[in-house]
Amino acid sequence: MIIRLMGKYSAVGLMVLGMAFLPPRASAETARQGTSLGLAIAGDYIFPSNQAHGQHPAGGLALCLNFSRYLTLEIEGAFSAVPTESLPLGLSQGRLLHIPVLLNIRFRLPLGTSPFAIFLKAGGGYAINSMKLDGEMMESYNTLGFEVSETCRSSALFQAGGGLELRFSPNLALEVFGLYRLSEASGEWTIGDIVSGVQTSGTIENINLNAAVAGLGLRFIF
């Protein structure tokens, strides 16, 4: 009787031990379907709709809260230095530092059992803008006895677009995307006589910062 009991309990013990060392498939699947955090890194190329603003590269970073495999909330920050040409009713020649900070909603649709998924996203936020005038232009004004400065105020910004995602593993994905951003800013210019100290200033209205964005990124899911 004792030998039979020992055999019974030994078998149960081996089953428990074996289950402890099995891969946690169920829990891993549950984790992927539940809430998780992620980080996205992107390299962009910007095509401004304003003809006085040149095409340029940019970069971005996003912190992601994945509610499910279909829905994600993103807090995104990006940076670009926009080359500008002088226009009578626009910005002067130089570089516009343009830093959007956005809150996005992202909808993801897996394509069957393949590693591919399409996604759509839309969001809005604020763009921090700072104008840096061309050095040679400022030196020319100084030679004539004038000091010049120019500002571009921060502005609201909205974006929408989508793309294609290739997931290499539950924790890593490559994505290509296209977006369109809408933003309009205003600014102010000042010119002062170095000798007399007299200054003249004015405003710059309706600065078009709309742009199309093409990008490639990596997405990490924790």
Which tens digit of pLDDT belongs to each residue from 20-72? 444 443 333 333 567 999 999 999 999 999 999 999 999 999 999 999 999 99
At 120 the pLDDT is 98
Is the confidence at residue 107, as pLDDT, over 50?
yes
Q: Assess whether pLDDT exceeds 80 at residue 130.
A: yes
List the single range of 23-27, 122-126, 142-146, 178-182 with lowest mean pLDDT: 23-27
Q: Which residue has the higher pLDDT, 76 or 27?
A: 76
Out of 1.20.210.10, 3.30.70.940, 2.40.160.20, 3.40.190.10, which CATH number does the structure's domain 34-221 have?
A: 2.40.160.20
The percentage of the chain sitting over the pLDDT mark of 90, rounded to a whole number, equals 78
d(C-alpha 218, C-alpha 170), whole Å: 13
Across the range 3-8, mean pLDDT stands at 43
Lowest-confidence segment of 14-23, 167-176, 185-194 by average pLDDT:
14-23
Within the chain, strands assigned E span 36-48, 56-66, 71-84, 94-110, 116-133, 146-152, 155-169, 172-193, 199-208, 211-221
One DSSP character per residue, 48-95 reads: ESSTTB--EEEEEEEEEEESSSSEEEEEEEEEEEEEE---TTS--SEE
Stronger pLDDT, 23 or 75, i.e. the higher one: 75
- pLDDT at residue 23 in the model: 43
Kindly report the pTM of this predicted structure.
0.80
**Residue 87, pLDDT score:** 81
Q: Which residues contact 147 (CB under 8 A, 6 or more apart)?
A: 141, 191, 192, 194
pLDDT, tens only, 183-192? 999 999 999 9
